[in-house]
Structure 1
Amino acid sequence: MGKPIPVIICDDSRLARKQMERALSQWNLDITHASQGLEALEAIRAGKGELLFLDLNMPLLDGYQVLERIRSQDLQTLTIVVSGDIQPEAHTRVRQLGALDFIRKPIDVEQLGRSLRAFGLLEELQHKATPLPATHPTDTPTVSGISSIEQTLMLTEHYQELANVAMGQAANLLAQLLDTFVELPIPSIQLIESCELEMALQQSVSQPTMNTVRQGFIAPGISGEALLMLSDTETSQLASLLNHVGDITEQVERELTLDIANVLIGAFLNGLGQQLDLAFSQSSPQVLEFLPGHSQMVNTGQPDRILSIDISYRIEGLAISCDLLLLFTEDSLPTLNELASHL
């Protein structure tokens, strides 16, 4: 067997890097991990990356900026982007910046093989005599014998990667609806107290210029609520993007906010459900005009800790952001943790 080919896997998620490494385990490679773009560039300069697998959504230096620096500095590497952002415009942009191909998350080994074969790379990669096992005992945190809260904290990285993929699917639908490009953030994963949530909701609902949509959802062993927050100014700009004719009345604002909420919440839950092999059922979305005393998420009869996934979708070139908050009750955590731990 010949000398292993140097490969860099660049992703801010350790879980995503391990998933990518497992997908590559059949080939004789010398793999270097990079947790952000600057690390990847340093590794390329050090000769550790004839081939680079690059995420787009990262702190400090995102994938687009890494591609720009590779091109401007004439760094010698071949790049395949691996991302949950499936907007067609994202595919176009990375190819214009020099990427060979775009593979969507979660990684599919067959798609990976097709991509490598299409660019004549598969022939360069030598198979290992004995491939690595499909899983490693240390890849998944041990979650038995501890509280569901502790388990959730241990699995934060898993929830981050789940949210990344689901977020990308929702952004793709929003981009199609508005015929624009949606800038994706890094999702914020937190465990919050129900009293903190109640205060945040009170503040949001009390602002006359803020429209807040609430939608409940359930799946076997899981329940929660989704909240979408959009200001009047942003709603008016969205109406313009959708070529609305006529005055932007209060009713128009409500209908538009509900439409955006349906797209983002439905697509996110669908993307999350596909990864966890779950089917979510959703209630009808409602515009919150006051904070109900019987809210599922803030009722004092409910558990105190809530898993929060916070995402702010931004429309490129416009001062528009749609803030989406996914909230899971504490009694949903054992089921969620069990499913997430198998990623």
Structure 2
Amino acid sequence: MTIPVLICDDSALARKQMARTLPKDWDIEVTFATNGAEGLDAIRAGKGEIVFLDLNMPVMDGYEVLQTVQQQDLPALIIVVSGDIQIKAHERVKALGALDFIQKPVSADAISHILQEYGILTLTQGASADMHPMMEVDLRDACQEIANVAMGRAADLLAKLLDVFVVLPIPNVNVLEVSELTMALKATEESSTISALCQGFIGAGVAGEALLLFHDASFEDMAKLMNLSSEDETEVLIDTGNVLIGAFLSGISEQLDMKFSQSHPVVLGRHCTVNDLIHASSDKWRRTLAMEINYRIEDYNIQCDLLLLFTEDSIPTLNFKLGYLLD
């Protein structure tokens, strides 16, 4: 009997990777959804007896889907597949009725093991999963999913070090001209001042800069969590940058199978506006591939923006590396 399987993820790359890792002899019909609201519609239509669910999505996220399925007692066995690997994320999805949790990027062995463990994998000789027409994946979408996984690695490290829960957004990825980057940075400004850290990175055919924009109102709470004095702002800034930038770059290097060397972190500005920062630094940036992540720590007044700015010359190498993930 053919089983209706739903893959619910806003990333075309993630949906493609997930579909490819499902057992080939599993008699299933696969439906795709790009956000939680679409996913719930599919479940209600009987297209999601087994659901592979992402957490960070627009319109309705994975937590809201789990909550709705639980409240309305909808017929779906849900396996969360996410780049957010924080222990508290695991605990929360289990409490909301998720069957299990698989970290991104997914592997066929991990999927097969979980399906067998719960007795929901029945292989049929000659059966072949109906994957529907496979979706096209563009550079921006692929980079967004790479950033999503790297973001989760960085958040997990920060969460473990500080014993907190880091609230994760949907990464914002765009190829920008300098004027557009200027507008993007200004969009992060909420009439507050920031302190900024910059760290260069380089790999084979790839180079860029990581910027950490730390909201000044966040220093007091972050210093307490780090057991530092509220006067040690430079140390707070550098320590936060070391964790987030180092873990994020490590997450990207693992996925793209390439190594990065990092320069020493440099404090770009203290208690300045984003406008001041742009004015001082925009000479260095031309056309760039920008990954932007806004990290917030739950129950604390802590917020910072991490931007990875890849040089225009890096884009062909990134395209080449991403090709291996897409094929």
Q: TM-score over 0.5 for the alignment?
A: yes
From 310, 313, 317, the counterpart of 1:328 = 310
Provide closer, same or farther for how the CA distance between residues 312 and 114 of structure 1 changes in structure 2, counting only shifts above 3 A: same
- Establish whether residue 285 from structure 1 lines up as the match of residue 283 from structure 2: no
Determine the C-alpha separation between the residues in 2 that align with 1:226 and 1:128.
Answer: 50
Which amino acid letter does the alignment assign opposite residue 324 of structure 1? Answer: L
Cα distance in 1, alignment partners of residues 184 and 5 from structure 2: 45
Q: 2:226 aligns with which of 215, 236, 242?
A: 242
Distance 2:30 2:146 in 1: 24
**1:315 correspondence with 2:300:** no
Which residue is 1:266 aligned to?
246
1:27-54 Cα shifts (integer Å, max 9, x gaps)? 1101111111111111111111111110
In structure 1, the residue matched to 2:170 is 186
2:159 aligns to what? Answer: 175
Q: Residues 165-223 of structure 1, C-alpha deviation per residue, up to 9 Å, x if partnerless?
A: 01100000111122100011001111121345468779999x99421000000000011
Q: Is the 8 Å Cα contact of residues 140 and 341 (structure 1) preserved in structure 2?
A: no
User: Structure 1, residues 254-279: CA drift from partner, whole Å, max 9, x if none?
Assistant: 01110000100000000001000000
| Conserved 8 A contact 1:162-1:272 | yes
Opposite residue 228 of structure 1, the aligned amino acid is L
Distance in 1 between residues matched to 2:314 and 2:306, nearest whole Å: 19
- The match for 2:272 is none
Query: SS at 1:322's partner residue?
Result: strand
How far does the alpha carbon of each residue in 1:273-315 deviate from its partner, in whole angstroms, 9 at most, with x for none? 10000001000111113869996x734xx7x310000000111
Paired residues in the alignment total: 317
Q: Which has the larger radius of gyration?
A: 1
Partner Cα distance (1:46, 1:136) in 2: 17
Match of 1:279, SS? coil
Q: Which runs of no fewer than 5 residues in structure 1 stay unpaired?
A: 142-153
Change (3 A) 1:47 1:218: same
Residue among 283, 286, 289 paired with 1:298 = 283
Q: What is the TM-score when the length of structure 1 is the normalising length?
A: 0.85
- State the superposition RMSD in angstroms: 2.7
SS at match of 2:283: coil
Structure 2 unmatched ranges of 5 or more? 270-275
Counterpart of 1:144 in structure 2 is none
Counterpart AA for 1:221: G
**Matched residue of 1:75: which SS?**
coil
Q: Which amino acid aligns with 2:146?
A: L
The question of 1:17 aligning with 2:20 is answered no
1:10-49 superposed matches below 5 A: 10-26=8-24, 27-49=26-48
Of stretches 41-50 and 169-178 in structure 1, the one that deviates more from structure 2 is 41-50
Tell me how far apart the structure 2 counterparts of residues 282 and 175 of structure 1 sit (CA, whole Å).
23
